[in-house]
Amino acid sequence: MSLRNRISGNKTLGFKLTLLYSGFFILIAAFLFGLAYFFMSRNLQKDDHQAITSQLNETYADYAEGGLTQVTAQMKREFVESEKFRKRPHFFFRFASRDNNTRKILFPRQWAEFELAELENIPPENREWAVLPPKQSANEYALEIVSARLPDGSWLQVGKSTEPRVKVLNRFSESFIYLLAFLLLVSIISGYFLSRWGLRPLRQLIETVRNIEMGKMDARVPDIGTHDELGQLVHLFNNMLSRIEALIEGMKASLDNVAHELRTPVTRMHNIAEKALGSDDREQYREALENFAEESDRILRMLNTLMDISEAETGVMSLDCSRFPIKELVEPVVEVYSYIAEEKGLAIQTETDENPLVEADFNRISQVLANLLDNAIKYTPPHSPPIVVKAWQTDTEVIISVTDSGQGIAEKELPQIWNRLYRGMKARDKTGRGLGLGLARVKAILLAHNGWVDVDSKPASGSRFQVHLPR
């Protein structure tokens, strides 16, 4: 499956996020509804129980004062008032004997939907709640009753139907269903737009990947102008693309340069072999083999150096780091190159302050200094002022500088001297067969050490290279 097909198969991510957002939104709404329903039910029940208990105490006092006759008369007057306004009595009243036999039920026809006769089979408990279900099981409400023993030993039971409470809760549930449908529609619409807005950088990233797949290496994700995670992702992705593009261009340029550089020694080797094959002279065979070995060594050096540079740039260069005084590195390298400098009528001076310590790969940094000294000697005219090697430290780094008074480097060539296989015009004139990898290797080794190198140079005024290594 191609990259494009794999990406196209993931186009339902926005739909999935919309469903996830809507589902989460509905679950939260359902949870809040359940919580509200629970507290509303508890509060309504509490209010009903308080009203029933209050009516029980009031009736108990009336009974204690005037007996059943007074209570009955009082209730009838209240019933007549309620009939005027066509209201159902709020409370159920039952008077029973000591043995729980019914003596009197006030307004029994108003409570006909309940099995009132079952009350004689339910032993009353003082101040304890009892629930009497309706005759028809389809009804959701019931009759809640509380009992109290009267002074003469008989029982008073006062109750109230839960029908009003159930109706309120049912209306609340119905309202929530309509509200839930509206919330579902709102959550789907808002989830859709939020997912489109949130996934916009990802869609742009997908489009960029498609363009890259088509060969447009300069494609970039548009900057969304935020500093959140997606903004950072876009920034890092664009930086990665820029680095990849630079590496690819560098690889192309390096391959072109390698092909160009290898053409000459390979052609020379071919000519040497043909010339030797056309001769019967053993001495000429020997000379041909020596030249052949020299050319092959040059090719191997170039390939090995390119491998080192690639390893350093990709972060896989093997480093054997240790902590050592920088003076122990500078002096042996300077001593070796002093002999080469003397042959050209040059001298090398060293200046090391306080012998600073550095943690690095001793051999690799020696190669860095050796490359810089080799270039300084190579491009400095004979009998010029001494080449100066300095080493000192700051709070955060150790610096090694190599200063010469040679021919210098043209300003337009300064950015290119670090490229692989690059040789300036003066370098070609002076050295002809140089590899053009010395400074590229210097930069790569320092990169592997988290260090860097810079140069200050002007034509005919010499150059100063500074190596920066973290302490």
Q: Which domains does the chain have, with CATH numbers?
A: 13-169 (3.30.450), 229-313 (1.10.287.130), 321-470 (3.30.565.10)
Strand 143-149 to 129-132 pairing: antiparallel
What is the per-residue pLDDT for 29? 84
Q: Show pLDDT as tens, one digit a residue, over the chain (471 residues).
A: 444 444 444 456 667 777 777 788 788 888 888 899 999 999 999 999 999 999 899 888 888 888 888 888 877 776 665 554 444 557 899 999 999 998 988 888 888 888 888 888 888 888 888 888 888 777 788 999 999 999 888 999 999 999 889 999 999 988 888 888 888 888 778 777 777 776 777 777 777 778 777 777 777 777 766 677 767 777 787 888 787 777 777 677 667 767 766 777 788 888 888 877 777 777 878 888 888 888 888 888 777 777 777 777 666 678 889 999 988 999 999 999 999 999 999 999 999 877 788 899 999 999 999 999 999 999 899 989 999 999 998 888 999 999 999 888 888 888 888 877 776 655 545 444 456 778 888 998 998 899 999 999 988 888 999 999 998
- State residue 10's pLDDT score: 44
Question: How many whole angstroms separate alpha carbon 238 and alpha carbon 224?
Answer: 12
Q: What does the pLDDT read at residue 35?
A: 92
Question: What CA–CA distance (Å, rounded) separates 360 from 368?
Answer: 12
Edge-to-edge strands of the sheet including 92-96? 102-105, 92-96, 155-161, 143-149, 129-132
Cα–Cα distance, 107 to 109 (Å, whole number)? 6
Query: How far apart are the C-alpha atoms of 332 and 468, rounded to whole Å?
Result: 20
Beta-bridged to residue 114, according to DSSP, are 134
Spell out the residues 6+ positions from residue 232 whose beta carbon is closer than 8 angstroms to its own: none
Q: Which two tokens stand for residue 155?
A: 């029982």
- Short-list 145, 154, 144, 129, CA closest to 63: 154
Q: Give the H/E segment covering residue 357.
A: strand 357-361
Q: Is 386 in contact with 457 (CB distance < 8 Å)?
A: no
> What pLDDT does residue 207 have?
79
Dump the DSSP string for 246-286.
Answer: HHHHHHHHHHHHHHHHHHHHHHHHHHHHHHHHT---HHHHH
Encoded amino acid at 425, one letter: M
Tell me, what's the pLDDT at 434? Answer: 58
What's the pTM value of the predicted model, to 2 decimals? 0.49
What is the model's pLDDT at position 149?
A: 92
Specify whether the CB–CB gap between 323 and 469 falls below 8 A.
no
